[in-house]
Amino acid sequence: MSDAMRLTGVRKSYGPTVALSDASMTVAEGAVHALLGENGAGKSTLVKILSGLVKPDGGSITLFGQDLDLAGRAASSAAGIETAFQEIPLVPDLSVADNLLMPDLPLRLGMFVDRKRASERVRTLQDDLEIADIDPRALVSELDLSQRQKVEIARAISRRPRILVLDEPTAALSRADVDWLGRRIAALTATATTIILVTHRMSEVHDLCSAMSILRNGAHVGSFGVGEISDDEVFRHIMGRSVDVSFPPRAVPKAKARANPLLEAVDIAAGRKMRGLTMSVAAGEIVGVAGLQGMGQLDLFNALFGAERLRAGRIVVDGKEAHFGAPADAIAAGIALVPEDRKIQGLAMNRSGVENATLPIVGDFSTFGILRNGRERRAVDRSFASVNLHPRALHQTPAEFSGGNQQKIVLGKWLMTQCRCLLVFDPTRGVDIGTKHEIYALLRRYAEGGGGILFHSTEVSELIGLCDRILVIYEGRVIGAVPHADATEAGIGALMMGAAAQDAERVTA
């Protein structure tokens, strides 16, 4: 098998910060090649270089034996490289169809979009790429995160690349769409398309890839065939040390706390899906929420945070009915949300870490309208230290940090409010394994300190490993409540697919 791409000593610095010091790897034609590393290891910089968005400071790149100068996005595309980005660059105010076809929208008279031809091309793409489930007339802003990611992947595939770079493509995909991506990858490799897959999930490496390359601190530390080394060895190469991949031990919530929950939803209905849903979270408890994409879990979290109005039912906090007309009401009641999309909903990406952390409680640091900056910084410094954030996060913007550290800023922000119940929606999406386990430990400490947590994850293994019990939502209702001791991936998966409780391997309680 010939080489599709060879990188030798690729370097990139931003001022004194070295993003890549020695990125070297060889990718075989028609292979699926995994690119692994912690957040901050240099993967995103390398993806941007291959995409023509960033010019390297040195090193060489060859494509099918020819030296390559990726001087801009157009040059990368002309060379046959297309990228589906994790930071989805679709235009939100344009339709799915327009985003799929740009920048090659068919024109008539050289200036007007030929809508008839455009519709025909989109219908062909829908058939070829199996994306008929997404309305091409819908605005991208109307799509959920999984649908936006699917459109971004379809957009890249539709250009018929010789090399396709997938930047953590499954981080935002539903389970059904992960299966869709697997079919698309199989179809592409059957035509000798080469794929570079950036991922944090070893299951994807084993299922999809034939080889892997590992970056650490901006340098290449090894390339291996899949199965050539153990997963533990892979983690040691990624982290530079052994990694404990177990979940933190759980304390059993006290019976008194379970009898007097911190937060309850009673027969609530909200959003498009949720109807007649009842659940509770006690002090010291981590309650998992499992469900296929679009089954109502997002409506539940938004309703409990005052971001989605109730159509029916009631929310109870500490035994008293609460009325959340807006998120500010939920925050005042001690409820906090780590949202689905941290960059859009959880952070002000171009404001400092200090400003982000104190946004919900900035009034606590002002006297007669004058902000006490020193007191504010000291408080944020303590909060960020508790979530293992570097002091530079105080003054840098979240845009300058990896996804894992961005998530820590969100968590540090809410810990400063001394909230009593955390609503945590898929917090480890797009986060490396080391930071994942830091987040697990942080959440367990929060629960042991008396906080309650409602935790949604798209990874069933994560729900089983971390949660004290798991609620399974199907068509907007809880159809199973599974204690940790009885939870299995097969049983939870059966419930997620709508199986009756008695048919789900005795997983319900």
Q: Which long-range contacts (CB under 8 A, 24 or more apart) does 410-413 make?
A: 410/338, 410/339, 410/342, 410/346, 410/347, 411/338, 411/387, 411/439, 411/442, 412/357, 412/380, 412/383, 412/384, 412/386, 412/387, 413/356, 413/357, 413/358, 413/359, 413/360, 413/383
Per-residue pLDDT averaged across 386-398, rounded? Answer: 83
| CA–CA distance, 453 with 447 (Å, rounded to integer) | 7
Q: Judge contact between 358 and 379, C-beta under 8 A.
A: yes
Q: Is the pLDDT of residue 39 over 70?
A: yes
CA angle 219, 222, 225 (to 5 degrees): 145
Helix H or strand E encompassing 314: strand 310-317
Give the pLDDT confidence of 83-107 residue by residue, as tens digits. 998 878 888 898 888 888 887 777 7
Write down the pLDDT at residue 325: 92
Return the HEC string of 117-181. Answer: HHHHHHHHHHHHHCCCCCCCCCEHHHCCHHHHHHHHHHHHHHCCCCEEEEECCCCCCCHHHHHHH
Write down the pLDDT at residue 503: 47
Helix H or strand E encompassing 77: helix 73-78
Give the pLDDT confidence of 137-161 residue by residue, as tens digits. 899 998 888 889 999 999 999 999 9
Strands in 38-80 per DSSP E: 58-63, 66-67
Please provide residue 489's backbone torsions phi and psi, each rounded to the nearest 5 degrees. Answer: -60, -40
Reported pTM: 0.70
| CA–CA distance, 289 with 291 (Å, rounded to integer) | 7
By the 10 Å C-beta count (0-12 exposed, 13-18 middle, 19+ buried), 509 is classed as: middle
Count other Cβ atoms within 10 Å, centred on residue 484: 18
425 vs 71, residue with greater confidence: 425
Q: In which band, very low, low, confident or very high, does the pLDDT at 165 lie, cut at 50, 70 and 90? A: very high
Q: Judge contact between 195 and 33, C-beta under 8 A.
A: yes
Write down the pLDDT at residue 205: 93
| CA–CA distance, 507 with 492 (Å, rounded to integer) | 7
Q: Is the pLDDT of residue 499 over 80?
A: no
Write down the pLDDT at residue 478: 93
Give the pLDDT confidence of 227-282 residue by residue, as tens digits. 898 888 888 888 776 555 568 877 665 555 566 799 999 999 998 888 899 999 99
Return the HEC string of 208-260. Answer: HCCEEEEEECCEEEEEEECCCCCHHHHHHHHHCCCCCCCCCCCCCCCHHHHHC
Per-residue pLDDT averaged across 108-117, rounded? Answer: 72
Please provide residue 316's backbone torsions phi and psi, each rounded to the nearest 5 degrees. Answer: -125, 130
Q: Is the pLDDT of residue 127 over 80?
A: yes
Task: Tell me how far CA of residue 419 lies from CA of 135, 139, 381, 453, in angstroms.
Answer: 40, 36, 18, 11
Mean pLDDT, the chain, integer: 87
Per-residue pLDDT averaged across 321-349, rounded? Answer: 91
Per-residue pLDDT averaged across 386-394, rounded? Answer: 82
Q: Is the pLDDT of residue 508 over 70?
A: no
Q: Is the pLDDT of residue 116 over 60?
A: yes
Query: Residue 196 CA to chain centroid, in angstroms?
Result: 19
Residue bearing tokens 């789900």? 504
Q: Is the pLDDT of residue 394 over 80?
A: yes
What domains sit in the chain, N to C, each tagged with a CATH number? Answer: 3-239 (3.40.50.300), 244-334+419-509 (3.40.50.300), 351-418 (no CATH)
Q: What percent of the chain has pLDDT over 70?
A: 94
Among candidates 244, 201, 285, 231, which has minimal Cα distance to 437?
Answer: 244
Q: Is the pLDDT of residue 13 over 80?
A: yes
Which residues are bridge partners to 375 per DSSP? Answer: none
71 vs 419, residue with greater confidence: 419
Tell me the pairing of strands 452-456 and 421-425.
Answer: parallel
Q: In which band, very low, low, confident or very high, does the pLDDT at 505 lie, cut at 50, 70 and 90? A: very low
Write down the pLDDT at residue 94: 87
Per-residue pLDDT averaged across 166-195, rounded? Answer: 91
Which residues are bridge partners to 269 per DSSP? Answer: 312
Residue bearing tokens 């060895």? 233
Write down the pLDDT at residue 146: 86
Write down the pLDDT at residue 375: 79
Among candidates 296, 307, 318, which has minimal Cα distance to 421?
Answer: 318
CA angle 339, 342, 348 (to 5 degrees): 120
Write down the pLDDT at residue 103: 77
Q: Is the pLDDT of residue 346 over 80?
A: yes
Q: Judge contact between 34 and 234, C-beta under 8 A.
A: no
Per-residue pLDDT averaged across 384-397, rounded? Answer: 84
Residue bearing tokens 């907007």? 476
Please provide residue 318's backbone torsions phi and psi, each rounded to the nearest 5 degrees. Answer: 55, 40
Q: Is the pLDDT of residue 471 over 90?
A: yes
Write down the pLDDT at residue 27: 95
Give the pLDDT confidence of 182-215 residue by residue, as tens digits. 999 999 999 999 999 999 888 899 999 999 999 9
Tell me the pairing of strands 366-367 and 370-371.
Answer: antiparallel
By the 10 Å C-beta count (0-12 exposed, 13-18 middle, 19+ buried), 367 is classed as: exposed
347 vs 254, residue with greater confidence: 347
Give the pLDDT confidence of 429-469 residue by residue, as tens digits. 878 778 888 899 999 999 999 999 999 998 888 999 999 99
User: Tokens representing 298?
Assistant: 């997002």
